[in-house]
Amino acid sequence: MSLVNSLARRDAAVLLHPQTDWRAHEESGALVVARGDGVHVFDENDKDYIEGMAGLWCTSLGFSEPRLVEAARRQMSLLPYEHVYSHQTHGPAVELAERLLALAPPSMKKVFFACSGSEANDTIVRMIWYYNNALGRPKKKKIVSRRRAFHGSTCVSGSVTGLPNLQADFDLPLPGFVHTRAPHHYREGLPGENEEDFATRLAGELEHLIVAEGGAEQCAAFFAEPVMGAGGVVVPPRTYFAKIKAVLDRYDMLLVADEVICGFGRTGNMWGSETFGMQPDFMTVAKALSSAYLPISGVMTTQAVYDVLADNSRRRGFFGHGFTYSAHPVSAAVALETLAIYAERDVLGHVRRVAPVFQRALRHFEGHPLVGEARGVGLVGALEMVADKAHKTPFDPSLKIGPRIARAAREQGLITRAMGDTMGFSPPLVITETEIGEMFARFGRALDEIAGSVKPAQQAA
C-alpha cells in the first residue's frame, strides 16, 4: 500500500501504533477506517470490509448501534463525569454493578470498575497481594499464568501475559510472575496423547511448578482466559479446568478467569467459565461489556475475598487503589444499554444459532493445503497455517505467511488477525449466517492466493 492519501501520510508522521513494526509502518502506512455499519467498516474510499475480528474481539453489537449513541448522549447531558471515590456514587455505577452481578455466576458478589482489561487485571493482582497481606501471609504473592496467555500490556498485566514478543526488551515479566505450559493440544500434545491425558499432564506440570516456586507458602493465584485469545485461540482440552482447580485447591490458590474476550456470549454461554466449568474467585470483564463503544472494564469477586479486603481497608483507612475514570458514568450508561440490548435481542440465543454455521465453515478449511488445524468454540475460531500438515511443521517465520494472508484478506474485503501464522476470527456477535458465509468466502479467496504464491520448497521447509 502506498501512502497515497493524506491521512495515512499524516498518521505515519506522528502516531505511534500499538503492537506494530514502526519501521515497516513508515513504508506501508495505515488502513484508514472511516465509518462502520453493522459488521462492516469502510475505508476512506468507501471500500467495505467485514470486520472479522470485531475490532479487537470487542465490538459485539457491530459498528452502528444507535441506542448506544443515544445512551451516551443522554448521560453526557445529565452528568458527564463524577467519580465513585470515598463514599460517593451515581446511578449508572450502581445499576451496572447490579446488572453485571445478576448475569454473573452466583458466587460473584462485588464489582470494581476500571477502564481497560489491563487495568482490571492489574487491580486483581493488587487485590490478591492485599488479600494475602491482610491474612498475614506476606510471602504468598506469586502469580502463575500460562505461556501464550494475554492479560494486558501494563507492567503487571504484561507480566501475567505469557507472550515473549510483548515482554522482550521491556524487562518483563517482573519477578514473581511464572508461566506454565499452554493448553494447546495441537502444538503441545504428545503423539497419541488424547485431550484428557494431556489435561492430566498439564495439571501435573502446574503442580511441579507450584512446588518449585515455594508451594502454598509463596504461590497466590492462577490466571487463565477460558479460551486463550491473542495466543492463537487456544481451546482447553477436555477436563482441563477441573484438573487445574484440584491442584489450585491443594495449594490454597485463587483462580482468576479473564473473561475479557470470552464474556457476554462469545463461547456460546454468557461466560467462558461456564463453557469450561471454571469456578473462579475473580472474573475480569471488558470489551463486550460496552460493545467497546466506550472504555470500561470490571473486576468481580466473591464475598469471601471481599470480606478480607474490606476488613483490611478499615485497618488501613481505605482501599488505596482506583482510577479517575473508574465507573465513568457515560461508559457505565453505555455498558448498561449494551447489556439491555443483549437481553432484549437474545444475543446469546443468536450466537447459539449461528455458531454451528461459523464452526462448520471454519473446519471446512482443514482440507486446505496450508491449514494444519481449525479450532474454536462459539463465535471465536482460528486457522493455524503449517508448511507440512503431516508433521505440523511451522512455516519459516521470515516468510510472514500470517501477515501476508491478513493483507490478502484485506484486499478481499475482510479484516482478520494474524497471530504469527494463526489466523483469528471473532466477528461481532450479531453477525448473520449470510455474513458468516461471505466472511469465509472472502477469506478463502485470500488463502488460495497466498497458497498459490508459496513454493513447494517453502511448504516443505
Nearer to ligand PLP, 2 or 19 (CB): 19
Q: What does the alpha-carbon distance between residue 162 and residue 156 come to, in Å, rounded to a whole number?
A: 12
Map residues 131-160 to x or -, x wherever contact with ligand PLP holds by CB under 6 A.
-------------------xxx--------
Q: What does the alpha-carbon distance between residue 201 and residue 424 come to, in Å, rounded to a whole number?
A: 27
- Rounded to the nearest whole angstrom, what is the least distance from the CB of residue 192 to ligand PLP in the complex? 31
230 is an interface residue for ligand PLP by CB under 6 A: yes
Secondary element (H or E) of residue 142: strand 142-146
Q: Which amino acid is at 426?
A: S
| 372: phi then psi, degrees, rounded to nearest 5 | -85, -45
239 is an interface residue for ligand PLP by CB under 6 A: no
- Rounded to the nearest whole angstrom, what is the least distance from the CB of residue 6 to ligand PLP in the complex? 29
381 is an interface residue for ligand PLP by CB under 6 A: no
171: left (phi over 0), alpha (psi -120 to 50) or beta: left
Three-state DSSP state, 386: coil
- Rounded to the nearest whole angstrom, what is the least distance from the CB of residue 176 to ligand PLP in the complex? 19
118 is an interface residue for ligand PLP by CB under 6 A: yes
Q: What does the alpha-carbon distance between residue 320 and residue 453 come to, in Å, rounded to a whole number?
A: 57
Q: Which of 162, 279, 150, 143 is closest to 222 using CA atoms? A: 143
Q: What does the longest C-alpha to C-alpha distance in the chain come to?
A: 68
122 is an interface residue for ligand PLP by CB under 6 A: no
Span from 60-68, 110-118, 363-371, 452-460 in contact with ligand PLP (CB under 6 A): 110-118
Terminal Cα-to-Cα distance of the chain (whole angstroms): 29
Nearer to ligand PLP, 260 or 387 (CB): 260
- Rounded to the nearest whole angstrom, what is the least distance from the CB of residue 119 to ligand PLP in the complex? 7
Nearer to ligand PLP, 151 or 185 (CB): 151
Span from 117-125, 174-182, 344-352, 428-436 in contact with ligand PLP (CB under 6 A): 117-125
Q: Which three cell numbers stand for residue 195?
A: 485431550
Q: Which amino acid is at 178?
A: V
280 is an interface residue for ligand PLP by CB under 6 A: no
- Rounded to the nearest whole angstrom, what is the least distance from the CB of residue 262 to ligand PLP in the complex? 8
116 is an interface residue for ligand PLP by CB under 6 A: yes
Q: Which amino acid is at 412?
A: Q
Nearer to ligand PLP, 236 or 413 (CB): 236
Q: Which three cell numbers stand for residue 99?
A: 446488572
435 is an interface residue for ligand PLP by CB under 6 A: no
Q: Which three cell numbers stand for residue 206?
A: 502446574
Q: What does the alpha-carbon distance between residue 44 and residue 451 come to, in Å, rounded to a whole number?
A: 29
**CA 320 distance to own-chain centroid:** 27
| Window 163 to 222, contacts with ligand PLP (CB under 6 A) | none
DSSP annotation of 228 reads B
- Rounded to the nearest whole angstrom, what is the least distance from the CB of residue 11 to ligand PLP in the complex? 20
How many residues can be counted in the chain?
461
For helices 91-103 and 329-344, the axis angle rounded to 10 degrees is 40
What percent helix, strand, coil does the chain show, rounded to 5?
A: 45, 15, 40
56 is an interface residue for ligand PLP by CB under 6 A: yes
Q: Which amino acid is at 372?
A: G
Nearer to ligand PLP, 229 or 402 (CB): 229
Nearer to ligand PLP, 72 or 230 (CB): 230
- Rounded to the nearest whole angstrom, what is the least distance from the CB of residue 116 to ligand PLP in the complex? 3
275 is an interface residue for ligand PLP by CB under 6 A: no
260 is an interface residue for ligand PLP by CB under 6 A: yes
**Total interface residues for ligand PLP by CB under 6 A:** 15
- List residues near ligand PLP by CB under 6 A: 56, 116-118, 121, 150-152, 225, 229-230, 258, 260-261, 286
